[in-house]
Structure 1
């Protein structure tokens, strides 16, 4: 895509999975695969990146807005069936290339020099978090369900998810990463995954107002006080249990806790991939030490590429998404069987295949001030 689009019209092109248009001072990105809950594929990632490049250098575009087509949500994540087939039948190169561009896009969004408004209405999971929660203006509604559910399919939170969750208060991020639990608006705000609450009925008017009003003015008119954060009432046992040194100890403490919700949480963990749980815990704790988003994305790329050669990703997607029997056969089958060496393998440097974001490839410009 080149040049500036005609105001109020969509960008021409054969690929309609991402619709691009400008309206007044705002550039709009609409994820447009509603039947697939706007799941991201490689072409969509590239199209979003091209739009951001064009609008970054277009003085007529002052704000970028991302929304999802349909009524169900912004984005349910990456197209995991494609990754499954590549891991099972291919050499993993297609998935690695997709993640390379996707993670670069995540970093680009975080450093974008203009306000990037993410309308996180409805379902926002996995890759959907990556194209929204790194933005400078993140809006949730009473319909929002935000999650990083990767451990349930034998994978590890990516798209900068371990960076975001590592920054959540206490060990709330550890809880969300290991369980894959979805949260509503109040908890998304508490955990630092969103900034503003707005009734879904106000979204259409808010988005329309961005054509001729600064973001701060439109937010002031349409945002409302957020609903209570449910996780706030569980902080005591969450922080006490998830502060343990190993996943086994976390499970033991959850089972021993007085709160029945803690015991239920332990059962959820025991149903997820043992390998993914241990790698996720290690990734989160390393992310806290790494600091910058770019360094964490470099780490996530190593972990994701390693997951392509481990059995649990293919098996998890089969059980949860393809066959839907909800009975994955994890290998190893128990936490005790996953060794430290098994975990460390996921963090092995990739040499010439490294993502390289922390070497200064995160994009240009100054990060927009979060409104």
Structure 2
């Protein structure tokens, strides 16, 4: 159990997560605004414990997730910690994923209405905290992305379950390019449900909190619909035909060749972006997305992602990608292998061997 102070909005297990109440709604606020609310292990533990408590609290009718500050909900996991622990060979380096991924699963199966306010930057682990939820709210400030191939990693937090469900090959575009999406794109991709203007989010929270604790998902959905506005045109929807023509292949090389044959800025930008990404990450990501398409459920994808993540920490590109992005900030990673031709199918097989135990030992796939 958590101290009674949590009911009054006083941070309990971690000052980086504020637990508050708005009427019948429990509000979880990520509180690292200077770090774009990047999530770390203490935050994962606080959120998971709070969600379990709220399930047993009859006064809590819904749970709302939001980020402090105006820049974003959550920019992802705190990759600097993973970088430092992995570099040091710390056997606890994978602890973050061991606890984050079960949290993603818990959100996907949460029995009370779970509302994520995806205002501003929502990337990587922030998508995991949001897009598995029942009610996913974006705003005119939303910038959503899974940019992991740019740091020598791959889309995780269950993204290999979510992205294959996007229309056509949109999920493949998201995973390989890491391209940013606005509210309309996020809704088109199936990663969000409704656009609510940012200036009305506080009213939305109050309205949800004004519901009776046993109101349920349908009542929450009706409240959200009162605040929702039309998202406008989606660039992904406008380019759906191009995306489907180019990203339907099972080899990264074929995707790049197809993009080169296309006319227009959209295809050219996607190709240019991919050519800067880690060749290993591109091939691994595509394999994971295709495997996700054939998977039995979220757990199978999370288990596969965990195994791949363990292997990532044993290889070069993740450390080089983080170095270039946030350590030296030269934005000039030197990938190894440096070309797609050098990344063999056998080398990718190593990431998918499943030799790292199970996160969900009691779950039947």
TM tier, shorter chain?
A: over 0.9
Give unmatched runs, 5+ long, in structure 1: 363-371
* Aligned position for 1:303: 308
Pair 1:312-2:317 in alignment? yes
* Aligned position for 1:366: none
Q: Could you tell me how far apart the structure 1 residues matched to 2:170 and 2:276 are?
A: 20
Q: Could you tell me how far apart the structure 1 residues matched to 2:3 and 2:105 are?
A: 24
Which 4+ residue blocks in structure 1 deviate beyond 6 angstroms? none
Deviations 1:36-60 (A, max 9, x none): 0000000000000000010001111
Q: Could you tell me how far apart the structure 2 residues matched to 1:288 and 1:224 are?
A: 32
Deviations 1:275-320 (A, max 9, x none): 0000000000000101311111111101111100010000000001
For 2:230, what is the secondary structure of its paired residue? coil
Cα shift at 1:235: 1.0
Instruction: Tell me which moved more, 211-220 or 297-306.
Output: 211-220
Pair 1:31-2:30 in alignment? yes
1:360 is matched with which residue: 346, 358, 363?
363
* Aligned position for 1:185: 183
Cα shift at 1:90: 2.3
Cα shift at 1:2: 2.8
8 Å CA contact 2:147, 2:175 repeated in 1? yes
* Aligned position for 1:48: 47
TM-score (norm 1): 0.93
8 Å CA contact 2:278, 2:317 repeated in 1? yes
Pair 1:246-2:262 in alignment? no
8 Å CA contact 1:3, 1:54 repeated in 2? no
Give unmatched runs, 5+ long, in structure 2: 212-218
- Equivalent residues, number: 358
Q: Could you tell me how far apart the structure 1 residues matched to 2:61 and 2:114 are?
A: 9
For 2:321, what is the secondary structure of its paired residue? helix
Q: Could you tell me how far apart the structure 1 residues matched to 2:24 and 2:282 are?
A: 44
8 Å CA contact 1:4, 1:58 repeated in 2? no
Q: Could you tell me how far apart the structure 2 residues matched to 1:85 and 1:356 are?
A: 27
Q: Could you tell me how far apart the structure 1 residues matched to 2:46 and 2:354 are?
A: 29
Cα shift at 1:24: 1.7
* Aligned position for 1:210: 208
Cα shift at 1:5: 5.5
* Aligned position for 2:273: 268
Deviations 1:217-265 (A, max 9, x none): 4213211111211111111111111111200111111011122321221
Pair 1:107-2:105 in alignment? yes
* Aligned position for 1:21: 20
Call closer, same or farther: CA 1:110–1:14 in 2, change over 3 Å: closer
For 1:356, what is the secondary structure of its paired residue? coil
For 1:29, what is the secondary structure of its paired residue? strand
Deviations 1:199-232 (A, max 9, x none): 1111111111222124234213211111211111
For 1:290, what is the secondary structure of its paired residue? coil
